[in-house]
Structure 1
Amino acid sequence: MNSSIPKSVRDLSFTASDGKQVSLADLTGRIVVLSDVMTLCQETCPIDTATVVQTARAEEHPASGKSPVFISLTVDPGRDGTAQLSAYRHLFTGPPSNWQAWTGSSKNVNALWDYFGVWRKRVANGPGPAPRNWRTGAPLTYDVQHSDEVFFLDASGRERFVLEGTPYAPGGTVPKTLRDFMNDEGRKNLRSPKSTAWTEAQAETVLRWLRR
């Protein structure tokens, strides 16, 4: 894989959890690891994010100014505003400086994920009591089903590699607030990862390859 990302996608404007306006174009010259996320996901996102964050910690070299940049971009911009994303980021105590959480307009979020081929579908909640937002306590009126991918972009902004599916997250890397929020399927994914689950070590292997 060696795909040049169109300027129209690189220039899409998003908002980081600290309120700053950001885009992929701003990160030209840096390796970028881009993952889809939803802070109110109960099945896979806590595991995905935990593994992305562990990789970011291992790759954090602030003195060099050349650490890969890890971006968790929401698939649920209607609920994942900056306050929600900031709270999510700080659940991972001492979040690494090279990990950012982004949101944006539905138009821009959908345009980027449509380009990368991330499948999303908004659905009604299943039967039973509605789950509640772990931050606000508000009942959740819908869910967003989505695929799970992590995209690796080289320093020139080209898409070079993709890891797919739910990874393996070692015990304790998923914050307790999110473990408590996960449903039965999510806890099963955490407790018994599939044999095909990707790992932090695999992600770091990809990053070493990109730096060659």
Structure 2
Amino acid sequence: MSPKKVLMLGILLLVPIFLFLFLKGFGTNHYSLPTYYPTINEDTELPVVKDGDTVFQKVPDFRFVSQEGKSVSQADLNNTVYVANFFFASCQDVCKKMSAQMVRVNEAFKNNPQVKLISYTVDPERDSVAVLKRYAEMYQANPAKWLFVTGPKTELYALAHNGYKVSAMQAPGTIPDFIHSEKLILVDKEKHVRGIYDGTNPQDVDRLITEITVLLHSYQQDEK
């Protein structure tokens, strides 16, 4: 083997070691995730600060219906970190790519009850409970782990715009089509947004999986 190939092999073997040491911080995790969307004072247009800490917006409560026909709210996500996205079942391109990446996240944490996933339809008029159930089964989604939800369109869109700060709307035209975000959104146990990722990019979803692990580790450290 040439010296150049030996060098490249050595670098490849060292990368995971450096990554491990970076995340573990030689026993202490020094890497923390940002928190998105500080609450802004309308008068000063500055972030609201209380007791010396910035106040961040929380994803508001909601009440929709799952692929099992059961009522779903934020209470079903309590004490978990979760990944959210917006999709519609008849979407043949972007949504399939996002759902495939959500499968990767689901598989990475399938045995960890602290991690859940939730997919909100932007086409509730066609995405009935039965449609969502079939869609969920296509991706072998356990309803206890990965929720697909539908409900009133105005409430779904308001949650996207005001809660997760992403786009969701019906496209103009006679053929039903929808404009929605391609992002996967990581939400912590306090309902704060902690990460935003391209749901069609496997490398960015690799980062999501890593950062879920970092977030879970931070909770473990807090409990010590």
Query: Do the structures match in fold with TM over 0.5?
Result: yes
Q: What residue is the counterpart of 2:158 in the other structure?
A: 111
The CA deviation string for residues 4-33 of structure 1, in whole angstroms up to 9 with x for no partner, is 444xx5322111110111112431211011
User: Greater helix percent: which structure?
Assistant: 2
Q: What residue is the counterpart of 1:191 in the other structure?
A: none
- Indicate whether 1:19 and 2:69 are aligned: yes
Contact 1:29 1:157 in 2 (8 A): no
- The one of 7, 22, 28 equivalent to 2:78 is 28
Q: Which has the larger radius of gyration?
A: 2
Structure 1: 5+ residue runs without aligned partners?
A: 126-140, 169-196
Specify the SS of the correspondent of 1:112.
helix
- The one of 96, 103, 127 equivalent to 1:53 is 103
- The one of 196, 199, 209 equivalent to 1:204 is 209
Task: Tell me which amino acid in the other structure corresponds to 1:114.
Answer: H
- Indicate whether 1:69 and 2:116 are aligned: yes
Q: Percent identity?
A: 27
Structure 2: 5+ residue runs without aligned partners?
A: 1-33, 38-55, 219-224
| Relative contact order higher in (CA < 8 Å, ≥ 6 apart) | 1
Q: What residue is the counterpart of 1:193 in the other structure?
A: none
Task: Tell me which amino acid in the other structure corresponds to 2:74.
Answer: L
RMSD value, Cα: 2.0
Q: What residue is the counterpart of 2:177 in the other structure?
A: 143
The CA deviation string for residues 114-145 of structure 1, in whole angstroms up to 9 with x for no partner, is 112222342336xxxxxxxxxxxxxxx31112
Task: Tell me which amino acid in the other structure corresponds to 1:154.
Answer: D
| Cα distance between partner residues in 2 of 1:25 and 1:5 | 17
| Cα distance between partner residues in 2 of 1:87 and 1:81 | 10
Specify the SS of the correspondent of 1:10.
coil
Specify the SS of the correspondent of 2:69.
coil
Q: What residue is the counterpart of 2:11 in the other structure?
A: none
| Cα distance between partner residues in 2 of 1:87 and 1:5 | 34
Contact 1:10 1:23 in 2 (8 A): no
Task: Tell me which amino acid in the other structure corresponds to 1:198.
Answer: D
| Cα distance between partner residues in 2 of 1:34 and 1:165 | 10
- Indicate whether 1:154 and 2:188 are aligned: yes
Specify the SS of the correspondent of 1:210.
helix
Task: Tell me which amino acid in the other structure corresponds to 1:162.
Answer: I
The number of equivalent residue pairs is: 162
Task: Tell me which amino acid in the other structure corresponds to 1:21.
Answer: S
Specify the SS of the correspondent of 2:107.
helix
